[in-house]
Amino acid sequence: MTNRIRNHPVLAVPTRETISFTWHGRLLTGFAGDTVTSALVAAGIDCFGRHSKDGSPESLFCANGQCSACLVMADDVPVKGCMTPLKQGMNLSPVNDLPSLPRDDSPPQFAELPVRDVGVLIIGGGPAGMAAAIELGSTGVETLLVDDKNMLGGKLVLQTHKFFGSEEDSRAGMRGYQIAKIMEAEVAALPSVDVCLDTTAVAVYSDGVVGLVTGGGLPGHSRYHQVRPRRLLVATGARERMLAFPGNTLPGVFGAGAFQTLVNRDLVLCSRRLLVVGAGNVGLIAAYHALQAGVEVAAVVEFAPNVGGYAVHADKLRRLDVPILTRHTILKAVGNGHVEQATIGAVDEEGAVIPGSEQEWAVDTVLIAVGLNRVDEFYHKAQEAGIPVYSAGDAAEIAEASAAMIDGRLAGQTIAAALQHGSAPSSSSDWISKLAVLRSKPGPTHAQSPPAQKALVEPVFHCLEEIPCNPCTSVCPEGAVATEGDLITGVPYLFKPESCKACLNCVRVCPGLAITLVDSRTDYHHPTVTVPYELPHTELTIDTEVIVVDRQGEELGVYPIIKLLKPSRAYPATALVQFRLPRDIAWRAAGFRPMTSPAAAIAAAVAAAAQTIICRCERVTETEIRDAIRAGVRDLNQLKALTRTGMGSCGGKTCRPLLEDILRQEGVPPTDFTPLTERPLFVEVSLGALAGEKKVRS
């Protein structure tokens, strides 16, 4: 168990029971609560087999049950490692070539498969699903909430950062995993809400029945059951987009969400140095989470001319000397069985790579954060089947989790009203406007100017972009902070300059770590500046010299720490660090980095290019697909028959968006091609489970 996180500035590292398992006959240990994938990666194993087509290594990509890259044999049964809990004595082995099934000649026994009628079925127990269940449960509507993980929370449990939005509506200032715990307790307290964990929705049938499999990840323990809901809410979230580049299936190329699952949920240190592709909020936050876990971030590259995520997230990285390279893209990843190097290049205004701009970076991991796709196939099938169906959260529109909570709440209200033959409650229009604001893109960025210097103590707001966030206003006991125009998207400012009592609440609550406090009461010319800090800080002591930087990481000088303030009970894990700085730079100081901050290393060697894989399940290359399209193929089902693209065990969920991108790039508009036909089952399920087989394997 070498790759474990033992200290984390935000997360507690629990003591867990050690359990033994074997990998390919080798005795290893993991922890109770691990998935098979997390235990293997913690043990230093991330090649889970060899693909049957080309013998290339298979590893994980999504860690969320959406692709099937992490297929392994567990006690002779092929399972997705990321969805299968590790058990004492489990025998794990790689899938080399095609998986073989255990010989079993005993006659199967089948059980009746009753259909359970429920008022509302919610698929997905993330922020939207839980919020909807709370609304429905609070009005007594019979609700079944199912989730494919062994805990509620969805992406909230991966989110160690504080939330934006407002305290009142989206618990701004709290961390995602804390919000998940609170909502889970609220759901548990509602008698009309039944929760089924470790339960995957696998199909929506034309007779209005939804098929569910419980215990799907555990060999021999799957139970298939059927539900007929009066209303269906699809809150299934989103899946990560893969990116087409040579080397994109090498072990070490993950989705950003997979990385957050390993690092933040499972406390597995799966990288030492990584490159992030994509500077939206997901990529920027994942990069910061990496730094918190002690992983070096070589750079964040972004194809677009501008950072897509919030400026406060980007600024946090810049202050720590992480380069954010816009108009850059990844060209390839290479390595011997694992990523060892990534090549990036600059792109011009047309998106073409500029010759000679290539740079090679020595990294062991490439995080793909180029966007998400809605998991909405259940929604469309339910519509076809005539089931009254709703969607909420990322399954409806990709946005922040704070928006998903409000969307779920709205969906719950709408469904409750529909079932009770009423109209939507009057508060709905207010919530609809709030949802629109939370889903909006960041607005313009304002210039930063020195404070008016009227007060001897005052917060400085290094938050200059219009984003939906305002907990700095609501936590101030003096009511001294406001946002421009009193809008949640307005930039904050000190509304009553003489009122600040230096309580530091605003500094601690800010999710962007974008507020400092400048206190000139004891020395006007050398004020004390307090800055928030959420990275490992065991080496920081009083008198440690660090590089103080401005909002975007420009160095202001080397200064010693004069005081370290522990996190408060209300805002755990946000430490405060104080400096005494000359007055002219005090208002500019926004953070610091240690003197030993490693500079980005540039590797020398260039390895041979690998093929660009589009369909990772079937190892179909971009060239094969483009050739078929250029030969006139316009039906993705025909493309599937010709090349096997989309025929793999993920059911085409991973490659379909890339296929559609390639068609567009080849000049084929969406109206001119036939999409892949949805399979009747969206998730792998054994025939025995589907038939209600009673036998449990020993």
Where along the sequence are the contacts to ligand SF4 (CB under 6 A)?
A: 164, 312, 459, 461, 463, 469-472, 475-476, 478, 480-481, 492, 500-506, 510-512, 514-515, 517
Q: Binds 616, which of ligand FES, ligand SF4, none (CB < 5 to 8 A, cut-off by type)?
A: ligand FES
Stretch that binds ligand FES, among 293-301, 536-544, 628-636, 650-658 (CB under 6 A): 650-658
Nearer to ligand SF4, 46 or 465 (CB): 465
Dist. CA 135–CA 420, nearest whole Å: 13
Least spacing, CB of residue 61 vs ligand FES, in Å: 9
Distances, alpha carbon 592 to alpha carbons 264, 308, 501, in Å: 24, 24, 25
Told to check if 65 binds ligand FES by CB under 6 A, we report: no
Nearest partner of 212 among 223, 221, 220, 65, judged by Cα? 223
Entry field: residues in the chain: 698
Least spacing, CB of residue 50 vs ligand FES, in Å: 17
Nearer to ligand SF4, 500 or 529 (CB): 500
Which of 49, 393, 652, 688 binds ligand FES (CB under 6 A)? It is: 652
Nearer to ligand FES, 78 or 393 (CB): 78
Buried b (16+ CB within 10 A) or exposed e, 149-175: beebbbbbbbbbbbbbbbbebbbbbbb
Q: Binds 147, which of ligand FES, ligand SF4, none (CB < 5 to 8 A, cut-off by type)?
A: none
Told to check if 313 binds ligand FES by CB under 6 A, we report: no
Q: Binds 187, which of ligand FES, ligand SF4, none (CB < 5 to 8 A, cut-off by type)?
A: none
Told to check if 648 binds ligand FES by CB under 6 A, we report: yes
Rg from Cα positions in the chain: 26
Dist. CA 440–CA 53, nearest whole Å: 44
Q: Binds 585, which of ligand FES, ligand SF4, none (CB < 5 to 8 A, cut-off by type)?
A: none
Residues in region 585-624 near ligand FES by CB under 6 A: 615-618
Told to check if 646 binds ligand FES by CB under 6 A, we report: yes
Least spacing, CB of residue 514 vs ligand SF4, in Å: 5
Least spacing, CB of residue 495 vs ligand SF4, in Å: 9
563-565 sheet: strands from edge to edge: 457-461, 515-519, 528-533, 575-580, 563-565
Nearer to ligand FES, 231 or 616 (CB): 616
Told to check if 650 binds ligand FES by CB under 6 A, we report: yes
Stretch that binds ligand FES, among 322-330, 530-538, 584-592, 652-660 (CB under 6 A): 652-660
Helix (H, G, I), strand (E, B) or coil at 407: helix
Dist. CA 213–CA 657, nearest whole Å: 26
253-255 vs 389-391, strand pairing mode = unpaired
Dist. CA 680–CA 279, nearest whole Å: 36
Q: Binds 471, which of ligand FES, ligand SF4, none (CB < 5 to 8 A, cut-off by type)?
A: ligand SF4
Nearest partner of 657 among 374, 416, 389, 464, judged by Cα? 374
Query: Are 269 and 259 contacting, i.e. CB atoms less than 8 angstroms apart?
Result: no
Give the bridge partners for 359, in sequence order.
344
Q: Cβ contacts of residue 12 below 8 Å, gap of 6+? A: none
Told to check if 71 binds ligand FES by CB under 6 A, we report: no
238-240 vs 372-374, strand pairing mode = antiparallel
Nearer to ligand SF4, 317 or 628 (CB): 317
The DSSP symbol for 82 reads: G
Which of 549, 645, 685, 689 binds ligand FES (CB under 6 A)? It is: 645
Told to check if 49 binds ligand FES by CB under 6 A, we report: no
Interface positions with ligand FES (CB under 6 A): 615-618, 645-648, 650, 652, 654-655
